Amino acid sequence: MRYAIGVDLGGTKTAAGVVDAAGKVLFQKQMPTLNRDGGEAILDATAALVSGLRNEAAAVGLEISAVGMGSAGVIDADRGAVISATDAILGWAGTRIADGLSARLGLPGGAVKVINDVHAHAIGEDWLGAGAGSSSTLMMAFGTGVGGSFVVAGRPLLGHRFVGGHVGHFASSYAVAADGSPLDCSCGHRGHVEAIASGPALHALYLRNGGDSRAVDTRQVFARASAGDPVALASVQTSARAAGQAVGGLGNVLDPEVVVVSGGLADAGALWWDEMTAAAAEELMPPLAGLRIVRATLGNTAAIVGAATLVL
């Protein structure tokens, strides 16, 4: 059986695991991402993490000769390099991940392959998770940001410039302030889905609507909504409906066999989920009335497994 290491590099943490050809994660490690230290320092730390896993695998007779990575940022999957990245990881844009890791690990050219982390997550869910057995999977992730991927026959749609999957960055009718002006989005534009349907956007909406400033994050907004706080409840419903409108709208465009929804908001409970799916159903065209919209099932291992498939 073949084995590979899959790496999931995000703005906060980097996780990696030894994965077999059936998609089972045999060993796993994680560490904080050195997101203030620049690309070379991140590659040094990632190579050390991978080397540790290779040593563990070698100790039980498993040879690892290839590494797949899902990384934050817009990734040129042909070259294994970062085209652009947000300030969540300083100095990451321009980093040649595949070449840098290959050199540090003593691996030949082509032994390290890289893709965007949300695409890796979607590949994992399409292969072994909630999308398993489907011909096409639209995955949408609602958490710190809003991202996604459209996987057809096991392959994600990357786009001509590798920007495919940025599902948080098209217009939303919900992304407006009380005076009707479009809300600022993290991408530098205004009025996008992410500006209203992400976790931080939901928290900001609650505060704009006059919510209790002692609610310092989205989790506390959900707690207040569950306890009957009308401002918190209205904020959760608005953000969830924006997410559902986006799911339904993309469903109309792409006609996937299944939609898989992941991220912290998807895991927050029925209050968000029921509102989101109701809004999606209202948006879908009649032939798509039976479209399945399901929660992701692989959790934190999805991107590790998906990244490993790049080299398995």
Q: Is pLDDT of 1 > 90?
A: no
- C-alpha distances in Å from residue 26, one per residue of 4, 57, 231: 10, 9, 45
Q: What is the pLDDT of residue 196?
A: 98
Task: Assign 57 a pLDDT band (cuts: 50, 70, 90).
Answer: very high
Question: Which residue has tokens 């490993």?
Answer: 308
Helix (H, G, I), strand (E, B) or coil at 135: coil
Taking CA 71 as the corner, what is the angle to CA 98 and CA 259, rounded to the nearest 5 degrees?
Answer: 130
Helix (H, G, I), strand (E, B) or coil at 14: strand
At 3-40, the pLDDT tens digits run 999 999 998 999 999 999 999 999 999 999 999 999 99
Task: Assign 88 a pLDDT band (cuts: 50, 70, 90).
Answer: confident
Taking CA 164 as the corner, what is the angle to CA 160 and CA 166, rounded to the nearest 5 degrees?
Answer: 145
User: Shortest CA distance to 48 belongs to which of 14, 23, 79?
Assistant: 14
Give the per-residue SS3 of 265-290.
Answer: CCCCCHHHHHHHHHHHHHHCCHHHCC
Q: Give the phi and the psi of residue 102 in degrees, each rounded to 5.
A: -60, -45
Q: What is the pLDDT of residue 87?
A: 86
- C-alpha distances in Å from residue 156, one per residue of 24, 134, 232: 21, 13, 36
Give percent helix, percent strand, percent coil of the chain, each to the nearest 5. 40, 25, 40
The token duo for 234 is 């209205």
Q: Are residues 51 and 106 in contact, defined by beta-carbon separation less than 8 angstroms?
A: no
Q: Whole-angstrom Cα distance, residue 102 to residue 298?
A: 28
Domains in the chain, CATH or no CATH each:
3-122+301-309 (3.30.420.40), 134-296 (3.30.420.40)
DSSP 197-237: HSHHHHHHHHHHTT--TT--SHHHHHHHHHTT-HHHHHHHH
Q: Using CB atoms within 10 A of its CB, is residue 227 exposed (0-12), middle (13-18) or buried (19+)?
A: exposed
In this structure, the strands spanning 146-152 and 136-142 are antiparallel
Question: Which residue has tokens 């530098």?
Answer: 188
| Mean pLDDT (whole number) for 138-150 | 95
pLDDT, averaged across the chain: 97
| Mean pLDDT (whole number) for 201-225 | 97
At 172-185, the pLDDT tens digits run 999 999 999 999 99
Sign, Cα dihedral of 295, 297, 300, 306? negative
For 59, other C-beta atoms within 10 Å of its C-beta total 9
Q: Write b or e for each residue in 178-209: b if 16 or more Cβ atoms lie within 10 A of its Cβ, otherwise e.
A: eeeebbbbbeeeebbbbbbbbbebbbbbbeee
Q: What is the pLDDT of residue 266?
A: 96
Task: Assign 86 a pLDDT band (cuts: 50, 70, 90).
Answer: confident
